[in-house]
Amino acid sequence: MKRLILSLLTFGAFQLTGFGSAPKPLNVGLARVIITPETPVRLTGYSSRDVPFEGVHHDLWAKAMAFGDEKRGYRIIITVDLLGIPHKITEKVREALAQEIGVLPANLSICASHTHSGPQIGNIVSHFHKPLDPDELAEIAVYAMGLVPKLKDLAMDAIANASPSLVSHSKGEVGFAINRRTSINPEGVTDHSLPIMKITDLNGEIKAVLVNYACHAVTLGPLNNVVHGDWVGEAQLQMEENLPPGALAMVVIGCGADQNSSPRMNTDKPEMDLVYARDQGKQIADEVDRLLTKDDWKPIHQLPEGKMKYVELSFASMPDPKQLAADAKGSGRTSNYSLLLLGRMARSGDIPEKINYPIQVWDFGKDLVMIFLAGEVVVDYALRLKQELGEDRVWVNAYANDMPCYIPSLRILREGGYEAETAMIGYEKPSKFTEDVEETIMNGIYAILPKSSK
Each residue of 394-408: pLDDT tens digit?
Answer: 999 999 999 999 999
Q: Is the pLDDT of residue 13 over 50?
A: no
Each residue of 173-196: pLDDT tens digit?
Answer: 999 999 999 888 888 899 999 999
What's residue 275's pLDDT?
Answer: 95
- Cα distance between residue 129 and residue 165, in whole Å: 48
> Which residue, among 137, 86, 91, 94, has the nearest Cα to 112 in the 3D structure?
86
What's residue 226's pLDDT?
Answer: 94
Whether the Cβ atoms of residue 147 and residue 289 lie closer than 8 Å to each other? no
Q: Is the pLDDT of residue 305 over 80?
A: yes
Each residue of 349-365: pLDDT tens digit?
Answer: 667 889 999 999 999 99
DSSP string across 171-222: EEE---EEETTTTT-TT-----EEEEEEEE-TTS-EEEEEEEE---B-SS-T
- Cα distance between residue 304 and residue 67, in whole Å: 8
Q: Is the pLDDT of residue 4 over 70?
A: no
Phi-psi region of 233 (alpha: psi -120 to 50; beta: other; left: phi over 0): alpha
What's residue 9's pLDDT?
Answer: 33
Q: Is the pLDDT of residue 47 over 50?
A: yes
What number is the average pLDDT over the span 31-40? 95
What's residue 6's pLDDT?
Answer: 32
Q: Is the pLDDT of residue 34 over 50?
A: yes
What's residue 453's pLDDT?
Answer: 65
Please list, in sequence order, all residues whose beta carbon lies within 8 angstroms of the beta carbon of residue 145, skipping any fewer than 6 positions away: none
Whether the Cβ atoms of residue 81 and residue 229 lie closer than 8 Å to each other? yes
Give percent of the chain with pLDDT exceeding 90.
70
Coil, strand, or helix at residue 301?
coil
What number is the average pLDDT over the span 3-12? 33
Q: Is the pLDDT of residue 24 over 90?
A: no
Compute the C-alpha angle 295/297/298, nearest 5°.
140
- Cα distance between residue 203 and residue 441, in whole Å: 42
- Cα distance between residue 32 and residue 157, in whole Å: 8
Cβ neighbours around 43 below 10 Å, total = 27
Whole-number mean pLDDT of the chain?
Answer: 89
What's residue 16's pLDDT?
Answer: 37
Q: Label residue 50 by pLDDT band (50, 70, 90).
A: confident
- Phi, psi (degrees; rounded to nearest 5) at 312: -95, 125
Residue type, 86: P
Q: Label residue 333 by pLDDT band (50, 70, 90).
A: low
Q: Label residue 320 by pLDDT band (50, 70, 90).
A: confident
What's residue 17's pLDDT?
Answer: 36
What number is the average pLDDT over the span 281-290? 98
Q: Is the pLDDT of residue 29 over 90?
A: yes
What number is the average pLDDT over the span 271-282? 96
Each residue of 128-172: pLDDT tens digit?
Answer: 666 777 888 888 888 988 999 999 999 999 999 999 999 999 999
- Cα distance between residue 402 and residue 255, in whole Å: 14
What pTM was computed for the model? Answer: 0.91
Coil, strand, or helix at residue 104?
coil
